Amino acid sequence: MKFHKSLVLVLLSGLAIGPLSVLALPVNGLYRHEVAVENQSEQERNRAFREALAAVIVKVTGERRWLENVTIETALGNAGNFVEAIESRTESRVVEADTSLPQTNPLSGSPALPATVEQELLNVSFARDLIDQLLARASIPVWDSNRPGVLVWMAIQNDVGERRLLSPETDPGIMDLMREFAKERGLPILFPVLDFEDRRNLTADVIWALDEETIARASARYAPDSILSGRLLFSASGDLVGLWQFQFQDQVEVFDSIDTELASYIEDPLNRITSQLARHFAVVPSTGGQQTARLRVEGIGTLAAYAELVSYLEGLVLVEGVTVAALNGEVLELNLALQGSQGQLSELLSLDRNLAPLGLGSIENPQVLTYRWAR
């Protein structure tokens, strides 16, 4: 597959998306986090464990509010109990010269240069089963690694009325803020390529008007799971004023936003839609499946395909157990023990193109979910 060099993606660890074909692929790295440390003392390491666990809870659930849960607060105080592995590394970091001091080298008289220092980083991996058990005890929903992609369009207007489309060339700071948010929450964000076709189909004025139908048509080439469109006015007074539109599952929500700081202005709509998606897809882990579902999968022609399918299904938070019900040639039927409903399972699988839906089963078994293995 040839990748368009202008495609700007948020690449979470292990997340790869091809051009003009947005797939909600598993977001890896949800149960690990890297923290900068000053030294290898026990006190500093415990601080790193606590910070990393808090970051993992936010990524796994999609919402920061759960950090205020009493059970989670207690767990954060004993974060080391959930650690599965740690890995240390160092990287060079540039430190800008202190502008409060004279900016010349006293020996040469030349301008002082930024200093390069070595920063030690601790990559902390947590045991997934222990984290899921913790969240189950606290009745906190877990958002599966299969997550809906969000396509972002944005029109920006300056204080003299000039408008432009958000792009990496003109607005790298805004895009960096969105990328950082996406990494923190495990949210797959896609920015359009803004090639000739995009600019022909969608102008800054159309985005500014939040023309729902035109935006949806222009976005169709990306096949996004959801669309966030926004407009931002940099007013002469310094205020940031805007309006946002979120399209998700045939529902459209419009909300305004005003701020004086760019970081909080960008975070507000992203936080809002991430919470909405998390609450829609997340399920509370349990110790036993409440419901079952029958899955019929075609295209399982090798032992490797069988192993991949079972491994994939067992990795879904919603699925608690997988057993083989029947095997006929390249058609495999499985019984799944679920922590949620069959409807939630169908919706979750629809986010991932590994399984192409073929509809319900036969007249004899109308409730069987039928797919073709497309990996």
Coil, helix or strand at residue 272: helix
- Which residues, including other chains, have CB under 8 Å from residue 184's CB and lie 6 or more apart? 55, 58, 59
282 close to 185: Cβ distance less than 8 angstroms: no
pLDDT, residue 141, reads: 92
101 in a domain, yes or no? Answer: no
Contact residues for 79 (Cβ-Cβ < 8 A; gap 6+): 46, 49, 50, 52, 53
> Do residues 162 and 214 both lie within one domain?
yes
Do residues 124 and 151 share a domain?
A: no
Q: Does some domain include residue 226?
A: yes
Res 154: pLDDT: 96
Same domain, 77 and 122: yes
Residues 73 and 167 in one domain: no
Do 242 and 311 sit in the same domain of this protein?
no
Which of 137, 167, 196 is the last residue in one of the domains? 137
Residues 237 and 215 in one domain: yes
**How far, in Å, CA of 322 to CA of 335, rounded?**
6
Question: Is 249 exposed, middle or buried (CB count within 10 Å of its CB: 0-12, 13-18, 19+)?
Answer: exposed
* Cα–Cα distances in angstroms (integers) from residue 194 to residues 129, 166, 200, in the given order: 42, 9, 9
| 250 within domain boundaries | yes
Give the span between the Cα atoms of 20 and 220, in whole angstroms: 9
- Single out the residue in 249, 281, 313 at which a domain terminates: 281
Per-residue model confidence (pLDDT) at position 374 = 80
Same domain, 274 and 365: no
Number of other residues whose CB lies within 10 A of the CB of residue 68:
8
Does residue 108 fall inside a structural domain?
A: no
Give the pLDDT score at 307: 87
Which residues constitute the domain of residue 269?
145-281
Cβ count near 81 (within 10 Å): 13
Return the pLDDT at 10.
40
In CATH, what number is assigned to the domain containing residue 295?
A: 3.30.70
* 248 and 333 share one domain: no
- Tell me how many domains the chain contains: 3
DSSP state of 28: -
Statement to judge: residues 120 and 162 lie in one domain:
no
Going through 38-133 in order, the beta strands assigned E by DSSP cover 83-95, 115-126
Between CA 318 and CA 337 the distance in angstroms is 9
Residue 199 lies in a domain: yes
The answer to whether residues 194 and 245 belong to one domain is yes
Q: Are residues 218 and 133 in the same domain?
A: no
Domain closes at, from 226, 255, 281: 281
Q: Which pLDDT tens digit goes with each residue over 305-341?
A: 888 888 888 888 788 888 888 888 888 888 888 877 7
Residues of the chain with pLDDT under 70: 1-26, 95-114, 285-290, 359-366
- Whether residues 157 and 271 fall in one domain: yes
